[in-house]
Structure 1
Amino acid sequence: MIWKSLLCAVMVFFSDDVQALVSLSGTRLIFDGRFREATIEVSNRGNAQVLIQAWLADARNPDTASTQLPFVVTPHLAQLPALGKQALRVMYEGVGMPVDRESLLHLYVLEVPRRSEARQQLSIAVRQRIKVFYRPEGLPGDPADAAQSLVWQGAAFDRSTLKVRNPTPFHVVLQRIAISGVEVSEDLMLAPFAEVLLPFTNSAGARLRSGQLSFKALTDYGGQRDFCAQVEENTPFNARLRMPSAQSSIGKC
């Protein structure tokens, strides 16, 4: 009977209360290397004060201690009043990061709830994570053009593989990569100068020779832009931005 009561309490808590009261003002943070810091706002949507903790981690090695990175997040700990806001500042020491390409970090914000006075009530800390792109000053090219600079090619030796290369110093985040409507990958992030092989099903492979490549690319602000291209099976090709008037087109790009 005791276990049944506890289970009910947990189920009620998860169905009604397990949702982040703290929200961030963006889904990503671009750290422009021309400046020594970048800022993102944290808001408390709840009617009670909450404690937040914030830190950075290397995206390639999340276990790396934040003290090993040449960045500081301030405030590291903060009390947010009900319906209050707090600016988080990410500051760079000025040395220690690559200067020929973007670097990817993760910003974590941990929301620590107030201790509940209700018996048999669980309290769960909610952790959020967003990408931080540190963009050194003076990188060649425009990050807005990076998606259309990607080099695509159907592998000549294997009709079930599509190759994509990122020749730019910027990260490119893609979604809904498809060949003639057949999905190849739901999402993909290409690091600077990286190359990736995308395997796909036979149905997509059959359309590779004369098919149409389509995908969405995320902007610095988290928006989406549509790109498309006619597939050239054994020849490298680039995609281009789909014009607004052709958003609903199912014909050739």
Structure 2
Amino acid sequence: MKLKLAILLPLLFSFLTPAFASIQVMGTRVIFNAKEKEQSVRINNVGDAPALIQVWIDSRRESSVEDKENLPFIINPPIARVNKGKGKVLRIFPTDETASKYPQDRETMLWINILDIPPESENAADKNLMNIAVRTRLKFFYRPAGLKGELLTASENVAWTTQKTATGYKVTGSNNSPYYISFASLKIAGQEDTILQGDVIEPFSSKVFEFKNIKNSTAPVLKYTFITDLGAFVNKELKL
């Protein structure tokens, strides 16, 4: 039976035509300043059919669709239909418990989840279609009022130290600020195999980035790209 199932499943899916979701999120991150009454996220339906979306916030770096949490934010609307070619604004509000839930001396990083559920085709019964619900996750930074400094300055002032290893380097970034420092990428110049994608250094913390298999680099240069509040990429270089 197991052998038959293993043969039948690839045959079944080879005849299916996937129908992909079509919700486009405008932005890559959300900064919620505590002094503001609300924040918003705009989404657009760039597909050729209506879509149903479900939106929620969670605190886990990795989570499933079933992992729902009761966090002190209200999203309006939490469920919505978005017609083709149309957009919708998702509004996010704090509750009375928000300030007491999170530290007030630093940012907290959460996640916005937007689940795009494509509708079934009217002629689905006559076609081999596989509808796929696609979830988009955006970093959501809750920023208490009164934090010292600003993200751009903090990102430019990360303190770096280097340790030589048998095969490369361990580079430690120290963030002495209340902000999350977000990186799009880090690499050793001229050595494309060393690229590290997407990471953060938490507030008042350090993080080690390990670069392995460095080839013939007597004066290595660290090239990294950090991300601003507006989602802009800023490139920097550092001689190790």
What TM-score comes out, normalization by structure 1 length? 0.78
| Secondary structure at 2:229 match in 1 | coil
| Secondary structure at 1:217 match in 2 | strand
Partner of 1:73: 75
Partner of 1:148: 156
1:201 and 1:5 map into 2 onto residues whose CA distance is 41
The question of whether the paired residues in 1 share the 8 Å contact of 2:107 and 2:144 is answered with: yes
Partner of 1:190: 201
2:14 and 2:113 map into 1 onto residues whose CA distance is 31
> 2:59 corresponds to which letter in structure 1?
D
Please say if 1:130 is aligned against 2:133: no
- Within 5 Å, which residues of 2 pair with 1:102-251? 102-116=107-121, 117-119=123-125, 120-155=128-163, 160-182=169-191, 183=194, 185-203=196-214, 206-207=217-218, 210-231=219-240
Partner of 1:32: 33
Give the 3 Å change call, closer, same or farther, for CA 4–200 of structure 1 in structure 2: closer
Instruction: Give the superposition deviation at 1:167.
Output: 0.9
Instruction: Give the superposition deviation at 1:200.
Output: 2.0
> 1:193 corresponds to which letter in structure 2?
F
Partner of 2:15: 9
2:45 and 2:181 map into 1 onto residues whose CA distance is 31
Instruction: Give the superposition deviation at 1:157.
Output: 8.3
Gaps of 5+ in 1: 232-253
Instruction: Give the superposition deviation at 1:39.
Output: 0.2
Please say if 1:47 is aligned against 2:48: yes
| Secondary structure at 2:131 match in 1 | coil
1:157 and 1:46 map into 2 onto residues whose CA distance is 50
Gaps of 5+ in 2: 1-7
| Secondary structure at 1:55 match in 2 | strand
2:80 and 2:235 map into 1 onto residues whose CA distance is 40
Which 4+ residue blocks in structure 1 deviate beyond 6 angstroms? Answer: 2-5, 156-159
CA offsets 1:89-134 (integer angstroms, 9 cap, x no match): 1111142121111111111111112123323322221211111111
Give the 3 Å change call, closer, same or farther, for CA 49–102 of structure 1 in structure 2: same
Structure with greater proportional strand content: 2
- Within 5 Å, which residues of 2 pair with 1:81-92? 81-92=83-94
1:31 and 1:57 map into 2 onto residues whose CA distance is 14
Task: Provide the aligned length of Structure 1 versus Structure 2.
Answer: 222
Give the 3 Å change call, closer, same or farther, for CA 122–153 of structure 1 in structure 2: same
Partner of 1:56: 57
Q: Quote the sequence identity (%).
A: 27
Give the 3 Å change call, closer, same or farther, for CA 160–3 of structure 1 in structure 2: closer
Give the 3 Å change call, closer, same or farther, for CA 7–201 of structure 1 in structure 2: closer
> 1:203 corresponds to which letter in structure 2?
I
CA offsets 1:33-77 (integer angstroms, 9 cap, x no match): 21121101111122322211100000357476332x111111011
What TM-score comes out, normalization by structure 2 length? 0.82
Instruction: Give the superposition deviation at 1:206.
Output: 4.8
| Secondary structure at 1:51 match in 2 | strand
Give the 3 Å change call, closer, same or farther, for CA 194–118 of structure 1 in structure 2: same
